[in-house]
Structure 1
Amino acid sequence: MKSEHIMNFLKDGSFSMPYYLIQFRKELSVSDMDLIVLAYLENLGDHFLFNPEEIQSRLNMTQMEIMMSISNLTDKHLITVESIKNEKGVMEEYISLEDFYRKVTSLLVERWKKEEEKGEEIQAGNVYEAIEKEFGRPLSPMEYEIIKAWLDSGTDEDMIMEALKEATFNGVANLRYIDKIIYDWSKKGYKSVEEVRRHNARWKEEKSKQQEQKEVEKPKEIFDFDWFDDDNSE
């Protein structure tokens, strides 16, 4: 079965082709014919009575093609065919897509993990670029290793950026100073930028109160005028 047949089935509107089925076709290792049959079965539900004649009429395929495709999908552990005795005691064959959904779920999780790792790599790259921009020069190999050590140890990228801001605010552009800030925060148990900012806000508030208290306690200057000094008389 050629690929254009897939388009014809979709145009016919007999069933819909799930996007994830096309997306993971390569990983599922299914042929055009198997893809059509699997898509049709997926539209029937996750567990249903196997009716080769109905599938044959709906997909315009021979019974041999249908049975061959069912065999292929079973061998690839995408579907299972099980015999169940009905109320009349007659054995009937049912198809279950449980293995198919389990496989697709596994592929989706794997793809999400890769995208997440890729996003982390991009974000980490932004950390290097941000530090270079603030320093106004390229980083040395040693500096790259220091930053990498922060990331490998689990230091959050946002914490590194916050430490960079604090170092820049204090007019210090070197990694030793930033490393000291990060170490100090780690020692105090700060695990997020929010915790750091709350601490800084409290510190500034306490410092402001102490300054106000000093102003209150500061002795007032008394103007000492010597009324008996002749130089002060006109």
Structure 2
Amino acid sequence: MVKEKEIMMTWIEEGTIQVPQLLMSKYKQIGLDETELVLLLHVHSFMEKGVFFPTPEQLAERMTVSGNTCVSILKKLVQNQFIGIDEGVQQDSIGFEKYTLKPLWLKLVDELIYESKQDELEKSLTQESNLYTTFEQEFGRPLSPLECETLSMWLDQDQHDSSIIKAALKEAVISGKLNFRYIDRILFEWKKNGIKTLDQARNYGENFRQKRSKSNQAQRSSATVPFYNWLEQ
């Protein structure tokens, strides 16, 4: 029983090594194979125990590859910026070399940023494709090259959200003025007045219609719905 407790205490005193879940799920994407990953984990383990520059022989003792193979892997990891070598200073001012895994963590961060941008790009392309389809459905025909260019300008140059562009298209349909010049004027007025959400656009249009309705009640029939002409602004 005493021996079993000693074994348990030895196990506890050895401590644990924290491995980021992200490293385990993304090591392939950042260009590591399994042997390189395990070697990096052993370097990390040594550093956690205060051994900041383990030798290839020390690493080979824990692995199923030779010391020479460890040397080759370490050189490759340094060259490909998965691991770095820093200089440290002991209390007696004697310098020493030590490994750093900052390059590895930076590669993981870069991979996350890249994937995030790819997701945004894919989402943007999907929204743009849906936007073109919506316009072609409303116009009942394929868009001309000039109209396609105008749509791209609204998205890229004017930075209009696709939902706002669709709302302007809907406004043009309601007003019975389905043309790009009219839609462009709506978007211009909305941007000038700080309209950025669908609710704001809806309320803005309704308020203008109410104002025109009141000012033209004497001339218009009650059966006719007055619409705001954006081109008159």
Give the 3-state SS of the residue equivalent to 1:22 in structure 2.
coil
Point out the more displaced range, 69-78 or 37-46. 37-46
Contact 1:18–1:39 (CA under 8 A) maintained in structure 2: no
Q: Pick from 136, 143, 150 the counterpart of residue 139 of structure 1.
A: 143
Q: Is 1:19–2:31 an aligned residue pair?
A: no
**In 2, distance between residues paired with 1:49 and 1:128?**
58
Deviation at 1:160, TM superposition (A): 0.6
Q: Does the 8 Å CA contact 1:78/1:97 hold for their aligned counterparts? A: yes
| 113 and 82 in structure 1: CA distance in 2 versus 1, 3 angstrom threshold | same
Following the alignment from structure 2 to structure 1, what is the Cα–Cα distance between the partners of residues 191 and 138? 23
Cα RMSD after superposing both structures: 3.4
Query: Alpha-carbon deviations, 1:66-92, whole Å to 9, x = none?
Result: 222222212222212345455688766
Deviates more, 1:104-113 or 1:194-203: 194-203
Whole-angstrom distance in 1 between the partners of 2:122 and 2:98: 42
Query: TM-score scaled by structure 1?
Result: 0.66
- Name 2:54's counterpart in structure 1: 51
Larger Rg: 1
Matches within 5 A, 1:120-159: 120-154=124-158, 155-159=160-164
In 1: Cα distance, 2:81 partner to 2:92 partner: 30
Partners of 1:36 and 1:129 in 2: CA distance:
50
Deviation larger for 83-92 or 126-135 = 83-92
Structure 1 residues 89-119: Cα deviation after superposition (integer angstroms, max 9, x where no partner): 8766532101221233223323322331232
Counterpart of 1:194 in structure 2 is: 199
C-alpha distance in structure 2 between counterparts of 1:85 and 1:107, whole Å: 33
1:79 aligns with 2:78: no
Q: Within the alignment, does 1:63 sit opposite 2:67 as a pair?
A: yes
Identity %: 26
Unmatched runs of 5 consecutive residues or more in structure 2: 1-16, 219-233
What SS is found at the alignment partner of 1:81? Answer: strand
Maintained 8 Å contact 1:79/1:99? yes
Change beyond 3 A, Cα 1:132–1:40: farther
- CA deviation after TM superposition for structure 1 residue 131, in Å: 0.9
Whether the 8 Å contact between 2:83 and 2:102 is mirrored in structure 1 is yes
Tell me the residue number matched to 1:229: none
Contact 1:48 1:95 (8 Å CA) reproduced = no
**Could you tell me the TM-score, scaled by structure 2's length?**
0.66
**In 2: Cα distance, 1:78 partner to 1:41 partner:** 12
> What residue is the counterpart of 1:168 in the other structure?
173
Name the CA distance, whole Å, in 1 between partners of 2:18 and 2:197. 50
Letter in 1 for 2:205: N
Mark the runs of 5 or more structure 1 residues left unpaired by the alignment: 1-13, 215-234
- Out of 104, 110, 126, the position equivalent to 1:106 is 110
2:12 alignment counterpart: none
